[in-house]
Chain A
């Protein structure tokens, strides 16, 4: 009992300490030097240089301290979006410019026109400033810029090609399918890497009024060009960043398209040159440069940084970070193409210098990535269109028209404007849900015999309750509360940190919306779940039958081997299978003896790839369960049946199956729920390909939350999740009935 009290007190102390810390985060400590918090997501050399620079600043400055926090790249944008509005974020952070629109709308960042004055602006490499301007205000202080450029192996391609035609001539020469060598490798299903062709052929993402213009005829032409490159087979199928670099490192790719971030991954001794992408000539004979999307890395000031003195300090840090000496340091040591023009004077003619100048040359022929919030909604539909046209050869006019419709539809859902009720409304709904839960608890208490009975029960079984208390608390905090929040969120629309109460609208637009995505996805989900369960159970039971044979030798060894797929983290398995399904380098095609069959190009083959992967993951559970069930079937039943004249098949159907059912039924219910919500496999293996057709409800919910712009359609995603929950709940209730029926008959 004492120990319980001690643990409880400790927990309280921890919580209080955490609160206290959170409390003084914002407050200024008059005694100590003020601390300016800087976040970045750099890794390796770039991170080291930032640390070095900040150490130098802290050593020389006496008025303040800079505290650096390196945040993992994958979580970076989410962290920024979540932390700053709640006053827990940095004063200053370094990030790519493309979310500026989202951030400016959500006031995550603030305009810094006063910092980037005319003098500062003119000190920058030309072409960067437009990237950091949103609605007429400058929001970021450019530090560096990044874009893809053409990398070539000078032994294979001594001269940088001047036009795409010339490039293709060389590429075809350098391609040798038998040796696995390719002339021109780029990620041709990714809009980011397709952009040079798009802009080179006069295409565009938005029209003059900032509306999406995916179906622009020049965009169509650009994809047709990409199809032609693909048809020339100078590029392998389903290129990924890893594949591209490993081909280049093995001297199997003569030219590749990638950015400065790949520098560190080029193997020692592999020669390479970087230059601007060539020109391309369109059907009308107009020659234009291929222009990649430009990303500007800039310093941003937190929107919460309002105290003038503190802001002045942050601005001072920003200036220090971007001054000439430190820019040179970043250029030389971190190999960043830096934004400060003067720093480029120091670029020499060594290898590094030539590479840097290659990227600099590309800068002059690039298009800043649009920073409007609508951009985020564009990526995924455009990628799907590109994938379908490249993968299945569907005419780009068709796929782009679909993409355009999709973007418009999604933006309509997300952009719907209603009067904001603010976070207050959200709290109300979540509160109501919690009250509902509480009321339900009260009912349960009454059933128990009222509060008095409960209290005396608690007193009598004090120790038991004390033991249960931590688990109960954890369940409340980790399960029930988030659950209530999740359900509540379904009644709101979320845009850039503000929640607007919309009642049932999310549900209505999902269930009764113009497109029947929900029902189609539900169909796929049901098919997915059913086919998985059938395979898992039949393979699991079959293996269990084999493993339970007394005559089998090394049974223990097999048993362990078969359980391994289960023991591995599922996302690792999913990634391995994705690799194995690669059309050219994957083991599956190699084993089947087929060349270049692309599994992700049609619904059924992509579905099959997902299915195989998830079956690999799922059968061990069923096998182990079935093994347990089999060992509990008395041997003499089989003997009695044998004497009754039942052959092996009859014995299986009349003895084994019915007696396995009580063991298997709960496993099947569990397996169904897991499979219904199997995010990892769908997201990682097919990724919804082709064109989102293999997506299931959970991945669809995820895409609404994180891949469709406007700072996340959390409301729609939450409504999806609630619907999924309701479906699984009714399934469970029904299954429990049936199972009880089976057990009752045992």
Chain B
């Protein structure tokens, strides 16, 4: 178990800077999720931590020791790849044991540890199989077993669930959460799936264009996005952000835009006292809840609607939008958050 700190980490390919001075202190036992759009440098960052990419500038320390030039095998980290990267010519048992065999662990102990890991990940019956005879979820679990069995100082996951279908994803997500509770090993987890980020993380790092936009607990990041990018990147449906002049609301200081999540806006029949009135263009009924969408000014705007209470809405109906004041976020001309 280890604390990992990234100080001014940079990655350059020639003239192109991919990761731009990343600072991050990961505490011992913490589960940190890196999220961000495709190509923002998440994998690159993770691979620098793993030692698979060189670090162009800055300092990477594990437990206070600078490891920039330490070989991947000597960092004592385990990584789970998006492609699983299982050794195709080895059985499941050999795959899981490989890291221990290389480290010359005693045979009896290897067997014991492999059996434990297999049991934990429900692989006991599959140990003699070759990877090609496994389903996607099983392969994923083998990859995790291979990481777990080593008892590394930290786990690194690079989008481990992206090749699985929605149902499996939920299952394996739960498994990861369980693992994490059991070992409380430091974990860095890369994803662009915000549900994974929200459900698994102690802290979320939102990356864009190689720059950390915000670091915080899932709720902080969700409730108090540090800027317009974070606000709109996290949460579905996307947060509404409109010019302050369009809403009947008092704004602090030099705020220019107001943001509010559709979940925090109620659509009602009456318009009196509403933030703003809107003509319904589109209704999304998800079963549990329903959303109405229309336009405020030029911007698309969403709100929750309780159709049971309200009666069925139609396209073109006029609705009033209401929200609690503490659910509003304000952004200045640079898109940065302004607190009231």
Please tell me which one of the listed residues B72, B87, B150 contacts residue A642 in the complex, with CB atoms under 8 A apart. Answer: B72
Among residues of A, the one whose C-beta sits closest to the C-beta of B104 is A645
Point out the residues of chain B lying under 8 angstroms from A636, CB to CB: 81, 83, 85
Answer whether A634 and B73 are a contact pair too, CB < 8 Å, given A642-B52, A644-B98, A650-B102. Answer: no
A121 interface contact, C-beta 8 A? no
A434 interface contact, C-beta 8 A? no
Contact indicator B98/A643 (Cβ below 8 Å): no
Answer whether A641 and B83 are a contact pair too, CB < 8 Å, given A646-B73, A647-B73, A746-B89. Answer: no
Give complex CA distance A639, B99 in Å.
Answer: 12
A348 interface contact, C-beta 8 A? no
Stretch of A132-140, A470-478, A653-661 that contacts chain B: A653-661
A22 interface contact, C-beta 8 A? no
Within 8 A of A (CB), among B248-282: none
A640 interface contact, C-beta 8 A? yes
Q: Which of B71, B83, B102, B150 has the most CB of A within 10 A?
A: B102
Among residues of A, the one whose C-beta sits closest to the C-beta of B82 is A636
Contact indicator B78/A745 (Cβ below 8 Å): no
B103 interface contact, C-beta 8 A? yes
Point out the residues of chain B lying under 8 angstroms from A644, CB to CB: 73, 98-99, 102, 146, 150
Within 8 A of A (CB), among B130-151: 130, 132, 146, 150
Distance (whole angstroms) from the CB of A578 to the closest CB of chain B: 43
Give complex CA distance A267, B132 in Å.
Answer: 72
Contact indicator A639/B85 (Cβ below 8 Å): yes
Point out the residues of chain B lying under 8 angstroms from A646, CB to CB: 73, 98, 102
Contact indicator B89/A659 (Cβ below 8 Å): yes
Among residues of A, the one whose C-beta sits closest to the C-beta of B88 is A746
Distance (whole angstroms) from the CB of A378 to the closest CB of chain B: 59
Contact indicator B83/A643 (Cβ below 8 Å): no
Within 8 A of A (CB), among B103-130: 103, 130
B62 interface contact, C-beta 8 A? no
A637 interface contact, C-beta 8 A? yes
Contact indicator B85/A634 (Cβ below 8 Å): yes
Query: Which of the four size classes fits the interface of chain A?
Result: 10 to 19
Contact indicator B73/A637 (Cβ below 8 Å): no
Give complex CA distance A28, B150 in Å.
Answer: 94
Contact indicator A640/B79 (Cβ below 8 Å): yes
Distance (whole angstroms) from the CB of B96 to the closest CB of chain A: 10
Distance (whole angstroms) from the CB of B295 to the closest CB of chain A: 46
Q: Which of A643, A644, A658, A659 has the most CB of B within 10 A?
A: A643
Give complex CA distance A647, B79 in Å.
Answer: 17
Within 8 A of B (CB), among A651-689: 654-655, 658-659
Please tell me which one of the listed residues A643, A655, A745 contacts residue B87 in the complex, with CB atoms under 8 A apart. Answer: A655
Answer whether A658 and B102 are a contact pair too, CB < 8 Å, given A643-B79, A646-B73, A746-B132. Answer: no
Q: Mark B313-332, 1 if CB is under 8 A from A, else 0.
A: 00000000000000000000
Point out the residues of chain B lying under 8 angstroms from A637, CB to CB: 85, 87-88
Point out the residues of chain A lying under 8 angstroms from B103, CB to CB: 645
Point out the residues of chain A lying under 8 angstroms from B89, CB to CB: 658-659, 745-746
Contact indicator A639/B88 (Cβ below 8 Å): no
B50 interface contact, C-beta 8 A? yes
Contact indicator A659/B88 (Cβ below 8 Å): yes
Main DSSP-derived SS at the A contact region: helix
Point out the residues of chain B lying under 8 angstroms from A634, CB to CB: 83, 85
Within 8 A of B (CB), among A178-235: none
Among residues of B, the one whose C-beta sits closest to the C-beta of A637 is B85
Point out the residues of chain A lying under 8 angstroms from B74, CB to CB: 645
Contact indicator B73/A642 (Cβ below 8 Å): yes
Among residues of B, the one whose C-beta sits closest to the C-beta of A657 is B89
Distance (whole angstroms) from the CB of B335 to the closest CB of chain A: 37
Give complex CA distance A325, B216 in Å.
Answer: 115
Contact indicator B102/A643 (Cβ below 8 Å): no
Distance (whole angstroms) from the CB of A652 to the closest CB of chain B: 13
Give complex CA distance A637, B98 in Å.
Answer: 12
Contact indicator A645/B83 (Cβ below 8 Å): no
Point out the residues of chain A lying under 8 angstroms from B86, CB to CB: 640
Contact indicator A645/B79 (Cβ below 8 Å): no
Distance (whole angstroms) from the CB of B211 to the closest CB of chain A: 26
Among residues of A, the one whose C-beta sits closest to the C-beta of B98 is A644
Give complex CA distance A636, B86 in Å.
Answer: 9
Within 8 A of B (CB), among A520-566: none
Distance (whole angstroms) from the CB of A208 to the closest CB of chain B: 74
Point out the residues of chain B lying under 8 angstroms from A642, CB to CB: 51-52, 71-73
Contact indicator A645/B73 (Cβ below 8 Å): yes
B200 interface contact, C-beta 8 A? no
Contact indicator B98/A641 (Cβ below 8 Å): yes
Give complex CA distance A611, B146 in Å.
Answer: 46
B60 interface contact, C-beta 8 A? no
B201 interface contact, C-beta 8 A? no
Point out the residues of chain A lying under 8 angstroms from B205, CB to CB: none
Give complex CA distance A637, B88 in Å.
Answer: 9
9 cross-chain CB contacts under 8 A: A639-B81, A641-B87, A642-B71, A642-B72, A643-B50, A643-B52, A644-B98, A645-B99, A646-B98
Which residues of A pack against B, CB within 8 Å?
634, 636-637, 639-647, 650, 654-655, 658-659, 745-746
Q: What are the nearest 3 A-B pairs in CB distance? A: A645-B73, A644-B99, A640-B85
Which residues of B pack against A, CB within 8 Å?
50-52, 71-74, 77-79, 81, 83, 85-89, 98-99, 102-103, 130, 132, 146, 150
> Given A636-B83, A639-B85, A654-B98, list of 11 further CB < 8 A pairs?
A634-B83, A640-B81, A642-B52, A643-B50, A645-B73, A645-B99, A646-B102, A655-B87, A659-B89, A746-B89, A746-B132
